[in-house]
Amino acid sequence: MLKKIWNTLQMRRDPIICFRKQGATIGKDCEIRCSNLGSEPYLITIGDHVRINAGVQMITHDGGVWVLRKTSKLENAASIDKFGKIVIGNNVHIGTNAVIMPGVTIGDNVIVGCMAVVTKDIPSNSVAVGVPARVIKTIEEYEEKNTEFYNRSLELRAQQSQVEAQREKIESEKRAIEAQSAQNEEIERQLQEKESQLSLRESELNALSQS
Protein backbone atom coordinates (compact mmCIF):
# COMPACT_ATOMS: atom_id res chain seq x y z
CA MET A 1 0.00 0.00 0.00
CA LEU A 2 2.78 2.41 0.99
CA LYS A 3 4.74 1.48 -2.14
CA LYS A 4 1.71 2.26 -4.30
CA ILE A 5 1.27 5.66 -2.65
CA TRP A 6 4.99 6.38 -3.06
CA ASN A 7 4.90 5.45 -6.75
CA THR A 8 1.87 7.70 -7.29
CA LEU A 9 3.66 10.63 -5.65
CA GLN A 10 6.79 9.99 -7.70
CA MET A 11 4.74 9.82 -10.89
CA ARG A 12 3.13 13.19 -10.13
CA ARG A 13 6.47 14.75 -9.27
CA ASP A 14 8.45 13.52 -12.29
CA PRO A 15 6.80 10.94 -14.56
CA ILE A 16 9.78 10.84 -16.93
CA ILE A 17 12.09 9.52 -14.22
CA CYS A 18 9.49 6.87 -13.33
CA PHE A 19 9.07 5.80 -16.96
CA ARG A 20 12.84 5.54 -17.40
CA LYS A 21 13.02 3.33 -14.32
CA GLN A 22 10.39 1.13 -15.96
CA GLY A 23 12.67 0.71 -18.97
CA ALA A 24 11.44 3.36 -21.43
CA THR A 25 14.06 5.29 -23.41
CA ILE A 26 13.24 9.01 -23.27
CA GLY A 27 15.26 11.88 -24.71
CA LYS A 28 15.80 15.45 -23.53
CA ASP A 29 13.34 18.31 -23.15
CA CYS A 30 10.21 16.12 -23.09
CA GLU A 31 6.77 16.63 -21.53
CA ILE A 32 4.83 13.47 -20.74
CA ARG A 33 1.40 14.05 -19.24
CA CYS A 34 -0.14 10.60 -19.62
CA SER A 35 -0.29 8.37 -16.54
CA ASN A 36 1.45 5.32 -18.04
CA LEU A 37 3.34 4.00 -21.06
CA GLY A 38 1.50 0.71 -21.32
CA SER A 39 2.34 -2.73 -19.99
CA GLU A 40 5.76 -2.93 -21.66
CA PRO A 41 7.38 0.52 -21.33
CA TYR A 42 10.77 -1.05 -22.11
CA LEU A 43 9.54 -1.43 -25.73
CA ILE A 44 9.07 2.34 -26.09
CA THR A 45 11.68 4.79 -27.40
CA ILE A 46 10.97 8.53 -27.31
CA GLY A 47 13.28 11.14 -28.87
CA ASP A 48 14.09 14.73 -27.84
CA HIS A 49 11.54 17.53 -27.43
CA VAL A 50 8.48 15.30 -27.45
CA ARG A 51 5.19 16.22 -25.79
CA ILE A 52 2.68 13.49 -25.00
CA ASN A 53 -0.62 14.84 -23.72
CA ALA A 54 -2.94 13.40 -21.08
CA GLY A 55 -4.89 10.27 -21.94
CA VAL A 56 -2.48 9.02 -24.61
CA GLN A 57 -2.20 5.24 -24.68
CA MET A 58 0.84 3.29 -25.86
CA ILE A 59 -0.17 -0.24 -26.82
CA THR A 60 2.88 -2.49 -27.16
CA HIS A 61 1.12 -5.84 -27.46
CA ASP A 62 -1.80 -7.25 -29.45
CA GLY A 63 -4.26 -8.48 -26.86
CA GLY A 64 -6.42 -10.00 -29.59
CA VAL A 65 -4.16 -13.03 -29.86
CA TRP A 66 -5.63 -14.11 -26.53
CA VAL A 67 -8.50 -15.58 -28.59
CA LEU A 68 -6.03 -17.66 -30.62
CA ARG A 69 -4.97 -19.47 -27.49
CA LYS A 70 -8.26 -21.37 -27.77
CA THR A 71 -8.67 -21.58 -31.53
CA SER A 72 -5.12 -22.04 -32.86
CA LYS A 73 -3.77 -25.49 -33.64
CA LEU A 74 -0.19 -24.28 -33.29
CA GLU A 75 2.04 -25.97 -30.75
CA ASN A 76 2.17 -24.06 -27.47
CA ALA A 77 -0.84 -22.02 -28.60
CA ALA A 78 -1.84 -21.52 -24.97
CA SER A 79 1.08 -19.12 -24.51
CA ILE A 80 0.89 -17.37 -27.88
CA ASP A 81 1.53 -13.61 -27.70
CA LYS A 82 2.46 -10.69 -29.95
CA PHE A 83 4.49 -7.61 -29.06
CA GLY A 84 5.67 -4.58 -30.99
CA LYS A 85 8.01 -1.69 -30.29
CA ILE A 86 6.90 1.93 -30.47
CA VAL A 87 9.46 4.46 -31.67
CA ILE A 88 8.78 8.21 -31.52
CA GLY A 89 11.25 10.60 -33.19
CA ASN A 90 12.36 14.10 -32.24
CA ASN A 91 10.15 17.19 -31.98
CA VAL A 92 6.80 15.43 -31.85
CA HIS A 93 3.45 16.41 -30.35
CA ILE A 94 0.90 13.68 -29.58
CA GLY A 95 -2.56 15.06 -28.83
CA THR A 96 -4.90 14.17 -25.99
CA ASN A 97 -6.34 10.63 -25.91
CA ALA A 98 -4.44 9.44 -28.99
CA VAL A 99 -3.69 5.71 -29.22
CA ILE A 100 -0.38 4.41 -30.58
CA MET A 101 -0.56 0.75 -31.65
CA PRO A 102 2.24 -1.87 -31.57
CA GLY A 103 5.02 -1.72 -34.13
CA VAL A 104 4.49 1.94 -35.02
CA THR A 105 7.30 4.36 -35.78
CA ILE A 106 6.58 8.09 -35.73
CA GLY A 107 9.14 10.28 -37.50
CA ASP A 108 10.61 13.66 -36.60
CA ASN A 109 8.64 16.93 -36.62
CA VAL A 110 5.25 15.23 -36.42
CA ILE A 111 1.89 16.31 -34.99
CA VAL A 112 -0.59 13.56 -34.06
CA GLY A 113 -4.11 14.89 -33.52
CA CYS A 114 -6.30 14.36 -30.47
CA MET A 115 -8.00 10.93 -30.29
CA ALA A 116 -6.13 9.65 -33.37
CA VAL A 117 -5.51 5.91 -33.54
CA VAL A 118 -2.08 5.37 -35.07
CA THR A 119 -1.89 1.90 -36.65
CA LYS A 120 0.86 2.56 -39.23
CA ASP A 121 4.12 4.49 -39.39
CA ILE A 122 3.87 8.28 -39.65
CA PRO A 123 6.58 9.88 -41.84
CA SER A 124 8.64 12.84 -40.67
CA ASN A 125 7.41 16.41 -41.20
CA SER A 126 3.72 15.55 -41.26
CA VAL A 127 0.41 16.01 -39.46
CA ALA A 128 -1.73 12.91 -38.87
CA VAL A 129 -5.31 12.72 -37.54
CA GLY A 130 -8.30 10.42 -37.48
CA VAL A 131 -9.25 6.77 -36.90
CA PRO A 132 -7.17 5.20 -38.21
CA ALA A 133 -4.70 8.07 -38.35
CA ARG A 134 -3.72 9.34 -41.78
CA VAL A 135 -1.45 12.12 -42.93
CA ILE A 136 -3.48 15.19 -43.95
CA LYS A 137 -0.72 17.75 -44.52
CA THR A 138 2.97 18.52 -44.13
CA ILE A 139 4.44 20.55 -41.31
CA GLU A 140 5.16 23.31 -43.83
CA GLU A 141 1.50 23.40 -44.87
CA TYR A 142 0.44 23.39 -41.22
CA GLU A 143 2.71 26.36 -40.51
CA GLU A 144 1.47 28.24 -43.57
CA LYS A 145 -2.14 27.69 -42.58
CA ASN A 146 -1.52 28.95 -39.06
CA THR A 147 0.81 31.84 -39.89
CA GLU A 148 -2.04 34.39 -40.00
CA PHE A 149 -3.38 33.13 -36.66
CA TYR A 150 0.14 33.14 -35.22
CA ASN A 151 0.78 36.71 -36.38
CA ARG A 152 -2.59 37.80 -34.99
CA SER A 153 -1.69 36.17 -31.67
CA LEU A 154 1.59 38.11 -31.61
CA GLU A 155 -0.30 41.35 -32.31
CA LEU A 156 -2.77 40.62 -29.52
CA ARG A 157 0.06 39.84 -27.12
CA ALA A 158 1.78 43.09 -28.06
CA GLN A 159 -1.46 45.03 -27.53
CA GLN A 160 -1.99 43.25 -24.23
CA SER A 161 1.53 44.19 -23.14
CA GLN A 162 0.84 47.83 -24.04
CA VAL A 163 -2.41 47.81 -22.06
CA GLU A 164 -0.64 46.27 -19.07
CA ALA A 165 2.13 48.88 -19.34
CA GLN A 166 -0.47 51.68 -19.45
CA ARG A 167 -2.30 50.16 -16.51
CA GLU A 168 0.93 49.99 -14.53
CA LYS A 169 1.68 53.61 -15.43
CA ILE A 170 -1.79 54.69 -14.25
CA GLU A 171 -1.37 52.69 -11.03
CA SER A 172 2.06 54.27 -10.51
CA GLU A 173 0.64 57.77 -11.02
CA LYS A 174 -2.22 56.94 -8.68
CA ARG A 175 0.23 55.81 -6.00
CA ALA A 176 2.24 59.00 -6.50
CA ILE A 177 -0.90 61.13 -6.13
CA GLU A 178 -1.91 59.21 -3.02
CA ALA A 179 1.57 59.67 -1.59
CA GLN A 180 1.49 63.39 -2.41
CA SER A 181 -1.98 63.63 -0.89
CA ALA A 182 -0.75 61.91 2.26
CA GLN A 183 2.21 64.28 2.33
CA ASN A 184 -0.09 67.30 1.90
CA GLU A 185 -2.28 66.01 4.72
CA GLU A 186 0.79 65.71 6.93
CA ILE A 187 1.89 69.26 6.03
CA GLU A 188 -1.62 70.53 6.75
CA ARG A 189 -1.63 68.72 10.08
CA GLN A 190 1.72 70.25 11.01
CA LEU A 191 0.48 73.73 10.05
CA GLN A 192 -2.65 73.26 12.12
CA GLU A 193 -0.49 72.11 15.02
CA LYS A 194 1.71 75.22 14.69
CA GLU A 195 -1.37 77.46 14.49
CA SER A 196 -2.68 75.86 17.66
CA GLN A 197 0.67 76.46 19.35
CA LEU A 198 0.65 80.10 18.18
CA SER A 199 -2.92 80.58 19.40
CA LEU A 200 -1.96 79.09 22.75
CA ARG A 201 1.11 81.35 22.96
CA GLU A 202 -1.04 84.35 21.99
CA SER A 203 -3.51 83.55 24.76
CA GLU A 204 -0.69 83.26 27.26
CA LEU A 205 0.73 86.63 26.20
CA ASN A 206 -2.70 88.28 26.43
CA ALA A 207 -3.14 86.84 29.88
CA LEU A 208 0.26 88.17 30.97
CA SER A 209 -0.45 91.66 29.52
CA GLN A 210 -3.73 91.90 31.41
CA SER A 211 -2.28 90.85 34.71
3-state secondary structure 122-150: ECCCEEEECCCCEEEEEHHHHHHHHHHHH
pLDDT at res. 188: 82
pLDDT at res. 96: 96
CB contact set of 15 (below 8 Å; sequence gap of 6+): 32, 33, 35
Say how far apart CA 118 and CA 33 lie, in whole Å: 18
Label residue 30 by pLDDT band (50, 70, 90): very high
pLDDT at res. 52: 95
Residue type, 132: P
Say how far apart CA 44 and CA 83 lie, in whole Å: 11
pLDDT at res. 6: 53
List Cα–Cα distances, 6 to 1, 9, 55, in angstroms. 9, 5, 22
Q: Which residues of 34-69 are buried (b: 16+ CB within 10 A; e: fewer)?
A: beebbebbebbebbebbebbeebebbbbeeeeeebe
Task: Say if residue 184's pLDDT is above 60.
Answer: yes
- Strand, helix or coil for residue 87: strand
Among 126, 141, 125, which Cα is nearest to 116's? 126
More confident residue, 148 or 48: 48
pLDDT at res. 10: 60
Instruction: Confirm if 7 and 18 have CB atoms less than 8 A apart.
Output: yes
Say how far apart CA 45 and CA 101 lie, in whole Å: 14
**Model pTM?**
0.66
Query: What mean pLDDT value characterizes the chain?
Result: 86
Q: Which stretches of 48-138 are DSSP H helices?
A: 68-71
Taking residues 143-163, what's their average pLDDT?
Answer: 80
More confident residue, 19 or 94: 94
pLDDT at res. 119: 95
